[in-house]
Structure 1
Amino acid sequence: MSSITTNSSGSTALSLPSIPAAHWLLRASVAAAFIHHGIDTFPSLAAGAGFMGLPLALWTLVAVLKVVGGVA
């Protein structure tokens, strides 16, 4: 049977600088991706619905929710 032990004597842990608003960078990049791909879906709604095998109304809802989710 093995056990895991830690040795904290004499070692320093790596600490990253704390940036209070860093999560906004991730949120903004994900939001931009959702908005871009949602808007990019609108010109070819019928083709996209046919390709995915979904009704046009459902595919339109997906496109709208991509944009709304990105804005939210």
Structure 2
Amino acid sequence: MDEDSRRTYRRIALAFMGIGLSFLFVALLGIVFQFEFFNASPVRVAFLVLGIGGLLWWTVRDRAE
């Protein structure tokens, strides 16, 4: 893999990590403050799964390099 490919791959990985962290943060805020939007259980579960999935993908990506 050349240097340009690695940079692109790292940018994509950082974007996924940022998305995962933001989903996790929003889900935790919704659970703590009981926002109306999060009274729907599937929405809460979806946000948590996306957030945790983004973080897990980040850790797996580090090991793959």
**Under a length normalisation based on structure 2, what TM-score does the superposition of the two structures give?**
0.56
* Structure having the higher Rg: 1
Gaps of 5+ in 1: 1-18
- Please say if 1:32 is aligned against 2:20: no
Give the match for residue 68 of structure 1: 56
**Residue 2 of structure 2 aligns to which amino acid in structure 1?**
P
Gaps of 5+ in 2: 32-36
Q: Deviations over 1:36-59 (max 9, x none)?
A: 111112222148xx48x7712232
RMSD (Å), alpha carbons: 2.6
Which contiguous aligned blocks of 4+ residues in structure 1 show a shift greater than 3 angstroms?
Answer: none
**Under a length normalisation based on structure 1, what TM-score does the superposition of the two structures give?**
0.52
Higher helix share: 2
Alignment: residue pair count: 51
Share of identical aligned residues, percent? 12
